[in-house]
């Protein structure tokens, strides 16, 4: 069998189930009977030992890191591109990448990066200071010759940049408008990965489908709705990847992803459905791995209009929802209960004395009565049918609806496709005040710094009209001061003290229902070695290999 046929077979064009959904209970019973490892072995014959096939829940929208916004996209991008800095293995701390060192001036508004020597892109073009400057100016300067390759939805991460200098090939300087503590963390985010200017300018409309970076794997081909194939970047500046190819397969149906894994047509499956995780923990022939990261799943409340403009009602819904039951029973232990707006993964920035709201329906009823809540009204709750970081959105919404009904709050769930949902929610819940919108909406964030969620979603002037994501129109002048002070704080201890105050204040004000933080997970075939999930939610494949079947 030639290499092309092998990859096509691994993608599902050869033998093995594809294109249908098996009953989940059947899958689990088959797995428990220990038949699956033998079945997997039979199918793994079609996947070469130097090729890794990864199942994901969605197809990327773009492979241009400045354009991409979803976790599915980011997982590919992290293996095709490099940034100035990146997070250390198994950590959220930073380490050098394209930049081998950097200095920060005393007022924290000037960052000078020294690049490694002799860096090149996969198309042979020089990866120097001018290329770095070009990448960021493409996002930030409306007059840049490649600004029309956007839009760049996450360019706000770099909005504090006033100017960029490239005094020589190895030095790039960022001058900020003012001190901005999260700047280095933002440079480790996928939006800051560096693309080839030459490749963009040669194919402006098609670059997102035919990308060029500098990472351990290079783009080979994209077959829509079937597979994206990356090949080893020979001569990669760190060290060459152990695998020859990565094949990313988009499989939108959760049962279909499971059936493909169990049939041996996948080596790695990320984001295993919660009610299937336990069987993989117990079944031989597979490796199951988890990693806690900075993720937050919450319910936005329209804090600017009745009934949620009353803090007692906002607190009441937090007491009314049994978050521990959602985590334990619905999510099968694949998440932890959230206490506030800063994910617990940033342990240095959270106050351990601020605990999640306990499940207390009696206290919820008392608060609603005190607030004079009108039990005859019906509250509309916007819910997506899926989406990046959303866990089990419809199931979780149904559980929340039932818990609120138990304290005499009527909630009507309105479900939308992911992109339609985002357009509605990110446009703000203010429409609810004229009867054509919602007063509640699900939301999830995965972030790289404790600043991101408060700054973009809770600051008074971060409403949708200003380009922010404060969809519930929550406003607290004292909180605004704390958020801005934390952005300018000089050291981690000062930042930590401010974020602890932010967490405590937001917990008390309850602008959201704080629900859960996700534990990302993956199932690997027993032939995969060297793969670890990262707290950043990215997956790096440069050190991953597969055992030969004869060694397995």
Query: What DSSP string describes 222-267?
Result: EETTTEEEEEE-TT-SS---S-SEEEEEE--SHHHHHHHHHTTS-S
d(CA 454, CA 432): 23
The torsion region of residue 324 among left (phi > 0), alpha (psi -120 to 50) and beta comes to alpha
Pick the CATH number of 3-59+224-285+526-551 from 3.30.70.980, 3.40.190.10, 3.40.50.620, 3.30.1050.10: 3.40.190.10
Query: Any residues with CB less than 8 A from the CB of 56 and at least 6 apart, and which?
Result: 72, 75, 248, 249, 250, 251, 270, 271
Three-state secondary structure call for residue 218: strand
Q: Which residue has the tokens 């199942």?
A: 55
Domain with CATH 3.40.190.10 in the chain: 3-59+224-285+526-551
Under CATH, which number does the domain 82-196 receive? 3.90.76.10
- The C-alpha atoms of residue 300 and residue 312 are separated, in whole angstroms, by 15
Reported as a single tens digit per residue, the pLDDT across 190-246 is 999 999 999 999 999 999 999 999 999 999 999 999 999 999 999 899 999 999 999
342: which 2 tokens? 């800063």
Rounded CA gap, 104 and 111, in Å?
A: 5
Report which of 325, 362, 252, 278 is spatially closest to residue 27, judged by C-alpha positions.
278
pLDDT at 46 (0 to 100): 66
Question: What stretch(es) of the chain map to CATH 3.90.76.10?
Answer: 82-196
Reduced to 3 states, what is the DSSP secondary structure of residue 442?
strand
Backbone dihedral region of 16: left (phi > 0), alpha (psi from -120 to 50 degrees) or beta? left
Tens digit of each residue's pLDDT, the chain (552 residues): 333 333 333 343 333 322 223 344 434 443 433 333 333 333 434 689 999 999 998 888 899 999 998 888 999 999 999 999 999 998 899 999 999 999 999 888 999 999 999 999 999 999 999 999 999 999 999 999 999 999 998 898 999 999 999 999 999 999 999 999 999 999 999 999 999 999 999 999 999 999 999 999 999 999 999 999 999 999 899 999 999 999 999 998 888 988 999 889 999 998 887 878 877 877 778 999 988 889 999 999 999 999 999 999 999 999 999 999 999 999 988 899 999 999 999 999 999 999 999 999 999 999 999 999 999 999 999 999 877 678 889 999 999 999 999 999 999 999 998 888 988 998 898 654 444 579 999 999 988 899 999 999 999 999 988 878 999 999 999 999 999 999 989 888 999 999 999 999 999 999 999 999 988 889 999 999 999 999 998 999 999 999 986 555
CATH 3.10.105.10 residue ranges of the chain are 295-518
Burial of 321 (0-12, 13-18, 19+ CB in 10 A): buried
The count of residues in the chain is 552
Q: List strands edge to edge, sheet with 171-176.
A: 99-104, 110-115, 171-176, 161-168
Check if the beta carbon of residue 91 is closer than 8 Å to that of residue 105: no
For residue 516, give every residue at least 6 positions away whose Cβ sits within 8 Å of its Cβ, in sequence order, or none: 297, 323, 326, 327, 331, 335, 336, 337, 338, 391
Q: Greatest CA span in the chain, whole angstroms?
A: 73
> First-to-last CA distance in the chain?
21
Q: What is the DSSP letter of 288?
A: E
Task: Give the number of other CB atoms < 10 A from CB of residue 348.
Answer: 12
How far apart are alpha carbons 10 and 229 in whole angstroms?
A: 11
CA distance 462 to 80: 33
Burial category of 103 from C-beta neighbours within 10 Å (exposed 0-12, middle 13-18, buried 19 and up): exposed
- At the topology level, CATH places domain 295-518 in Dipeptide-binding Protein; domain 3 (3.10.105)
- Name the CA radius of gyration of the chain, rounded: 24
Are 192 and 157 in contact by the 8 Å Cβ rule? The answer is: yes
> Do the beta carbons of residue 170 and residue 117 sit within 8 Å?
yes
């Amino acid at each position: 069998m030639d290499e092309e046929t092998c990859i096509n077979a691994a993608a599902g064009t050869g033998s093995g189930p594809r294109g249908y959904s098996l009953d989940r209970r059947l899958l689990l019973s088959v797995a428990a009977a220990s038949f699956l490892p033998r079945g997997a072995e039979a199918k793994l014959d079609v996947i070469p030992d130097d090729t890794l096939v990864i199942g994901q829940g969605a197809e990327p929208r773009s492979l241009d890191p400045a354009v991409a916004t979803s976790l599915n996209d980011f997982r590919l991008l992290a293996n095709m591109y490099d940034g100035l800095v990146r997070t250390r293995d198994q950590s959220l701390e930073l380490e050098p990448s394209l930049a081998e060192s950097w200095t920060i001036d005393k007022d924290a508004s000037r960052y000078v990066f020294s690049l490694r020597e002799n860096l090149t892109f996969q198309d042979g073009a020089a990866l120097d200071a001018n290329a770095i400057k070009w990448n960021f100016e493409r996002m930030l300067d409306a007059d840049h010759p490649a600004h029309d390759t956007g839009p760049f939805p996450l360019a706000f991460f770099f909005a504090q940049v006033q100017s960029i200098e490239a005094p020589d090939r190895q030095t790039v300087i960022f001058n900020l408008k003012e001190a901005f503590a999260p700047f280095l963390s933002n440079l480790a985010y996928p939006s800051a990965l560096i693309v080839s200017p030459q490749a963009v300018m040669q194919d402006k409309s098609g670059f997102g489908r035919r990308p060029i970076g500098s990472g351990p794997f290079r783009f080979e081909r994209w077959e829509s709705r079937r597979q994206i194939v990356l090949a080893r970047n020979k001569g990669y500046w760190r060290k060459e990847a152990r695998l020859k190819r990565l094949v990313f397969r988009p499989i939108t149906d959760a049962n279909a992803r499971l059936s493909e894994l169990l049939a041996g047509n996948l080596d790695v499956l990320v984001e295993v459905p919660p009610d299937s995780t336990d069987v993989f923990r117990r079944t031989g022939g597979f490796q199951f791995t988890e990693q806690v990261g900075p993720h937050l799943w919450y319910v936005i409340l329209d804090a600017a209009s009745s009934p949620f403009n009353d803090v007692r009602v906002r607190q009441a819904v937090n007491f009314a929802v049994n978050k521990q039951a959602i985590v334990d029973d619905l999510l099968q232990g694949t998440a932890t209960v959230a206490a506030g707006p800063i994910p617990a993964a940033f342990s240095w920035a959270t106050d351990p004395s601020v605990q999640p709201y306990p499940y207390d329906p009696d206290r919820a009823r008392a608060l609603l009565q005190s607030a004079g809540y009108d039990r005859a009204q019906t509250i509309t709750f916007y819910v997506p049918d899926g989406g990046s970081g959303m866990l089990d959105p419809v199931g979780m919404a149904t559980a929340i609806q039932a818990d609120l009904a138990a304290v005499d709050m009527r909630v009507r769930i309105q479900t939308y496709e992911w992109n339609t949902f985002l357009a509605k929610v990110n446009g703000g819940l203010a429409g609810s005040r004229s009867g054509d919108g919602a007063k509640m909406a699900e939301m999830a964030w995965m972030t790289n710094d404790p600043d991101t969620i408060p700054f973009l979603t809770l600051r008074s002037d971060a409403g949708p009209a200003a380009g922010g994501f404060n969809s519930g129109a929550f406003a607290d002048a004292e909180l605004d001061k704390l958020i801005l002070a934390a952005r300018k704080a000089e050291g981690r201890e000062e930042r930590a003290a401010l974020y602890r105050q932010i967490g405590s204040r937001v917990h008390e004000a309850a602008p959201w229902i704080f629900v859960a933080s996700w534990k990302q997970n993956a199932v690997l075939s027993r032939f995969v070695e060297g793969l670890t999930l990262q707290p950043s939610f990215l997956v790096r494949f440069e050190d991953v290999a597969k055992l030969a079947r004869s060694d397995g």
